[in-house]
Structure 1
Amino acid sequence: MDSLNAQNGFKPKSRLYYGWIIVLLTFVTLLVSAGIRSLPSILLVPFQDEFGWSRGSISSVLSMGIFLYGLVGPFSAALLLRFGVRKVVVLSLAVLAISLAATPFMTALWQFQLLWGLVSGLATGMMANVLGVTVSNLWFVKSKGLVVGLLTASAATGQLIFLPLMAKLTTDLGWRYAIFTAVAVLILVLVIVAVWMRNHPSDVDAAPYGTDEVVPPTPFTGNIFLAPLQNLRYAMKNSTFWLLSGTFFFCGFSTNGLIGTHLIAACGDFGLPEVTAAGLLAMMGLFDLVGTTISGWLSDRFDNRWLLFWYYGLRGLSLLFLPYALDSTPTMLIIFSVFYGLDWIATVPPTAKLSSQVFGKERSGMIFGWIVVAHQVGASAAAYGAGVMRDWLGTYSQAFMIAGFVCFFASLMAVKIKKQVNAKTAAAIQS
């Protein structure tokens, strides 16, 4: 049969679409990157004890890293299109590994600022949500929302795998052993990506999933540094951009900036061991893997504005519940972890889908990158602000309550998003 097909010009097709291998490689890359970004939540107290730095000072470094992690996103989208996913990811993993390898030898706060505030922030920012959106746009037409959900969930899975292990290593052997373990994992992932990652479906003679036509990628002709700024200028003409950016600001404020950075330290204030607190974050990661994947599936089928309304509203309720849970029984903290975890970053697939619908496939990567900047500005504000409030007031309760109320405001903003972009603005954006 195979010889007959060959004689008639038919090529047997692989049973597995290579795009799913790319999704797996991207998932692993984002998983490791997110795991590295979550390490400071474990290191906050050890650094305070060993170096004598205040929690506010350490939080300022983490705040800078979170901000740069978001700021590099739009430029990352341009670099991914210009040089290809494989080169950009391999270089970013290498820089991140060097930054981590130097961390155990630091002795001053400015060195921590350089390694984790600047270098780590920029390197992990190259492997943030924009990478997942870019991969889904290049390789998928059908099931794009599901793919974005899976790749977004990798951040949660990174916590699930990394945090308990790193907390255990930090407790038993010291934080330096945890850092060197992370470096070894980075080097392994770098090799895997270098060997198997591909930039575009045409590299393996395939069409984007959901289509039949194999076409080469459109060459990126813009200026790497100017193109993101030009896309920002176009996006700013559209009210949807401002509403998505505003809701994403509050998303970052209420997730990685606050809970991701300070929950372990907040649990320590109530006598919970660091490993136990890391386990709570890992549990959130497990349930967010489920919640965000389902969110991606839902974003392909329902009005994304109302999905955001419910996600932000439910998150707000969970954050208002958190101060009570911390001062109550471990069961209450488990309930919070499950409820909050399902909703942690479920907002990303609907936000990315709305961005793609409004601004188009070609520009949505860079414009979504700017929306992520707003997310990280919010996260940066919460990371620093919560640390300062803890120094002043001796508790995180007020910070958790504020985050809960701003989530309610974000849910109202979400329903104000127009269902369809204004035709005149769309024409201007596509020009």
Structure 2
Amino acid sequence: MNVNVDEPTGAPAPLREATPTAVTVVGLAFVFNFLGRGVADAFSAYILPLEAEFGWSRQSMTGVFATYMLMAGLASPAAGALFDRFGPRVVYGAGLALLGGGAWLAGRIESLWQLYASAGLMVGAGVAALGMVCAATLIGRWFTRSLATAISIAYSGFGCGILLMLPLVQYLIDTVGWRSACQAVGLFVLALVPVCLALPWGRLAGRSRAHLAVARAPASTGPDTVSGATTDRPADWTLRSAMRSVAYWRLVQVFFFTSVGIYCVSPQIVAFLTESGFTPIAAASAFGFAGLLSTGGMIVTGWLADRLGFARAALLSFGLTSAGILGLLAISYQATLAALVGYVLFFGIAQGARGPIVSTMSNRIFAGPSAGTIYGTIYAAMSVGGACGSLAGGILHDATGGYRAVVLMSLGAIALAAEPFRPGGTLAGAIAARRAAPRIPA
């Protein structure tokens, strides 16, 4: 069945789809996203204390963030493949151990390479295991018609994590120091490992797999208008066949450039606002409040995508992001409360909004037993883009001595990310989506 991304993706799901177990699955995905991104993105609060103690350059600091993003990206396909093979207990348990261990070790570093290994590599691997690659695959086993809404709720854990963790970490740094703050966060996450392992994952993973239900649906006999290939049913999708489709690479483009645009500025937001004249706690709170707004923004984006179509929801979110970045540009000239409110409001509402859209499109287009692996490689583009963006942002800051060039780079990357959704663009045309069969209750 051909679906245009400018058309609604379907009517709201019936109530039977949101069973208690399905709701629990979405809630757990929310919590894991909250922990992963909340702990990892709170690194921005450590930049100034680390620079003060060790004298490291801003490029070195953003390089740590880039390493975390790169590792999260490179590990995402592996996390998806391991999830497809071994299930959530193994992957989520390992993710919590890596995230907590990396945070705890970061509080004991004495050299730069140790920071890269702990806060970069270990935390990045933990975020990959706890993130949306596994969550989207798991949620896809329980939801069909309201998949975008369900995924967006899980995605909103990103924003809540930033909202609560960043001000909390900043408070801990101000009161007990950055080392104790790192170790406290790490120990808390490690304490959750046995709790995770004890959960009834056999039931939560679904007694039957959604892709098996889809495979029993009527076969598609027409040509794939995106890839140009003819397939018999969605279970035929493999990573190799997906990578031959135009839709795959357009989704990669959206994720990569969105991440470049966001992460060339976000790791330096607290430092930028502090150096512009705002207090450290006000800067951290502003960044955290933007995360709060993103929670509602992601849920609304998923709801709009289910009803108005992916393209309209995506273009609206890109417009809001651009407006928020313009607020940062205004702050680079004169730090005013109005410009700060503009950044928090517009950037916050749209922060993370593309995630539910791309996740849902990937799960609909490439449904099948390899869905986790395929989405893992698409998700990797987001993390690689974040690594490139954060590293480039640090280099631009050190080269220019300010943030204006960083902000302008962010605007250009957001324009490239929005291009596939423009009228007449690839993702605004017909997308060969497979008919999803009703979920078989566990």
Q: Equivalent residue for 1:329?
A: 336
Q: Equivalent residue for 1:282?
A: 288
Q: Equivalent residue for 1:226?
A: none
> 1:142 Cα deviation (Å)?
4.0
Q: 2:375 matched to 1:364?
A: no
1:31 corresponds, among 31, 34, 45, to 34
User: Deviation string for 1:287-306 (max 9, x for gaps)?
Assistant: 10000011111222222123
Q: Equivalent residue for 2:418?
A: 411
Q: Normalized against structure 2, the TM-score is what? A: 0.82
1:50 corresponds, among 25, 49, 53, to 53
Q: 2:100 matched to 1:97?
A: yes
Secondary structure of 1:139's aligned partner: coil
Q: 1:67 to 1:267 in 2, by over 3 A?
A: same
Q: 2:22 matched to 1:19?
A: yes
> 1:313 Cα deviation (Å)?
2.9
1:307 corresponds, among 300, 313, 319, to 313
Q: Distance in 1 between matches of 2:64 and 2:202?
A: 34
Q: 1:188 to 1:259 in 2, by over 3 A?
A: farther
Mapped contact 1:70–1:377 kept (Cα < 8 A) = yes
> 1:343 Cα deviation (Å)?
0.3
Q: 2:141 matched to 1:138?
A: yes
Q: 1:318 to 1:65 in 2, by over 3 A?
A: same
Q: Distance in 2 between matches of 1:200 and 1:366?
A: 22
User: Deviation string for 1:167-211 (max 9, x for gaps)?
Assistant: 011112211121122123213432332222524557679999x99
> 1:163 Cα deviation (Å)?
0.6
Mapped contact 2:33–2:157 kept (Cα < 8 A) = yes
Q: Distance in 2 between matches of 1:19 and 1:311?
A: 28
Q: Distance in 2 between matches of 1:135 and 1:149?
A: 13
One-letter identity of the residue aligned with 1:402: M
Q: 1:206 to 1:96 in 2, by over 3 A?
A: closer
- Aligned ranges 1:290-301 → 2 under 5 Å: 290-301=296-307
Q: Distance in 1 between matches of 2:107 and 2:415?
A: 41
1:149 corresponds, among 152, 159, 164, to 152
Q: Distance in 2 between matches of 1:205 and 1:303?
A: 29
Q: Equivalent residue for 1:72?
A: 75
Q: Distance in 2 between matches of 1:375 and 1:25?
A: 22
> 1:108 Cα deviation (Å)?
0.8
Unaligned runs of 5+ in 1: 1-12, 214-229, 424-431
Q: Equivalent residue for 2:272?
A: 266
One-letter identity of the residue aligned with 1:113: Y
Mapped contact 1:243–1:417 kept (Cα < 8 A) = no
Q: Distance in 2 between matches of 1:199 and 1:403?
A: 43
Q: Distance in 1 between matches of 2:210 and 2:352?
A: 30
One-letter identity of the residue aligned with 2:330: Y
2:357 corresponds, among 342, 350, 369, to 350
Q: 2:431 matched to 1:420?
A: yes
Q: Distance in 2 between matches of 1:21 and 1:373?
A: 26
- Aligned ranges 1:151-300 → 2 under 5 Å: 151-201=154-204, 231-255=238-262, 257-300=263-306
Q: 2:390 matched to 1:383?
A: yes
Q: 1:298 to 1:197 in 2, by over 3 A?
A: farther
Q: Distance in 2 between matches of 1:154 and 1:394?
A: 34
Secondary structure of 1:375's aligned partner: helix
> 1:55 Cα deviation (Å)?
0.9
Q: Distance in 2 between matches of 1:331 and 1:397?
A: 18
> 1:240 Cα deviation (Å)?
1.0
Q: Equivalent residue for 1:320?
A: 326
Unaligned runs of 5+ in 2: 1-15, 217-236, 435-442
> 1:71 Cα deviation (Å)?
1.5
Q: 1:203 to 1:406 in 2, by over 3 A?
A: closer
State which drifts further: 386-395 or 132-141: 132-141
> 1:31 Cα deviation (Å)?
0.5
Q: Normalized against structure 1, the TM-score is what? A: 0.84
One-letter identity of the residue aligned with 1:419: A
Q: Distance in 1 between matches of 2:403 and 2:273?
A: 10
Instruction: Indicate the RMSD between aligned Cα atoms, in angstroms.
Output: 2.6
User: Deviation string for 1:311-366 (max 9, x for gaps)?
Assistant: 22331232133120352312320221011111011111111122122212433322
> 1:397 Cα deviation (Å)?
1.3
Q: Distance in 1 between matches of 2:380 and 2:49?
A: 29
